[in-house]
Structure 1
Amino acid sequence: MTGTTHYRAPEGFDNVFNRTVRWLADHGVNLAGAQNLTVPGRRTGKLQTVPVNVLRFDGGDYLVSPRGNTQWARNARAAETVELRRGRSRTVVALTEVDADRRPPIIGEYLRKWGWEVGRFLPEGLDAKPSDADLAAHAGSIPVFAITSAD
């Protein structure tokens, strides 16, 4: 499921914050649920590690990319498996992109939990406390992945 054009790159303090959260997650510190996602680059195969928030919603686990069509989201589409890690706990999982019409309630719950952290990265016209109509209108520009067993 591609075609999303929203992308907000990390800049300035975002890079420092991401490095700090990544370091904390590597050392087992649970900062607002952060874990590290490691995914191979789709062209180079070089491993990329970024902090993510795993959302438990309606019996499933999900990754949401509020920044939009990021490198990790594009790489996840191409990868067979990825690794989620916090401290010494490592899990190899598969990610399957969720159809845009199924994303609004997942994105809404994600924003309820982490909107304070990610609201400024959302697409133009969407805020951290969106209406159902706003969620539906912007769901196609915010990648969402279901996390499943890699087996």
Structure 2
Amino acid sequence: MSTHVQKPGWFTVNVFNRAVAWFTRRGLSVWGSRVLAVRGRKSGEWRTTPVNLLTVDGQQYLVAPRGHVQWTHNMRAAGGGELRLGKKVDVFTATEVTGDDKVPLLRAYLKRWKAEVGVFFGGVGPDSSDDELRRIAPDHPVFHVTVRS
């Protein structure tokens, strides 16, 4: 497994993520944002971060543009979590997407959010070849989200 991580800078952590999370907690989705809550794999405490919820063919996915960051490790350990938008809380299970199944999902993610996260994909964009997307796929975890009814 890749260990690729691009840690966020001060501005992202202290300004951008906080602003997006603030709006999202109040029910205002910023470009499809949700607040992801997942239990810490060691502490068991809830950890939260803003994420972009991708919908493709009626299915929902979470993509980690910065690579194998803490929430991805926690997601693998917990197997799910909560997606929050205002007072609405969707409890979900998560299954990691692997191999070539990631290619169309990464393409869709980049098509929607390239302006926001494109810098983390090494010059690969929504119009890149399948081979280019396959090359970067190991660096960007993708999880299929199934909301519990």
Q: What is the TM-score with the length of structure 2 in the denominator?
A: 0.93
Residue equivalent to 2:36: 37
- Deviation string for 1:108-142 (max 9, x for gaps)? 000000011011222x4535653222101111111
- Contact 1:104-1:135 within 8 A present in 2 as well: yes
Matched, 1:147 2:136: no
Structure 2 unaligned blocks of 5 or more: none
Query: 1:106 is paired with a residue of what secondary structure?
Result: helix
Residue equivalent to 2:134: 136
- Contact 1:95-1:145 within 8 A present in 2 as well: yes
Structure 1 unaligned blocks of 5 or more: none
CA separation of 1:125 and 1:112: change in aligned 2, threshold 3 A: closer
Percent identity of equivalent pairs: 42
CA separation of 1:128 and 1:17: change in aligned 2, threshold 3 A: farther
Q: What is the TM-score with the length of structure 1 in the denominator?
A: 0.91
> Cα offset for 1:87?
0.4
Q: Distance in 2 between matches of 1:38 and 1:113?
A: 23
Give 1:2-151 correspondences, 5 Å limit. Answer: 3-15=1-13, 16-122=15-121, 124=122, 126-127=124-125, 129-150=127-148
The CA RMSD measured in Å over matched residues stands at 1.5
- Contact 2:75-2:94 within 8 A present in 1 as well: yes
- Deviation string for 1:31-75 (max 9, x for gaps)? 111000000110111211000111110231100001000100110
Question: How many correspondences in the alignment?
Answer: 148
After TM superposition, what 4+ stretches of structure 1 lie above 3 angstroms from structure 2? Answer: 124-129
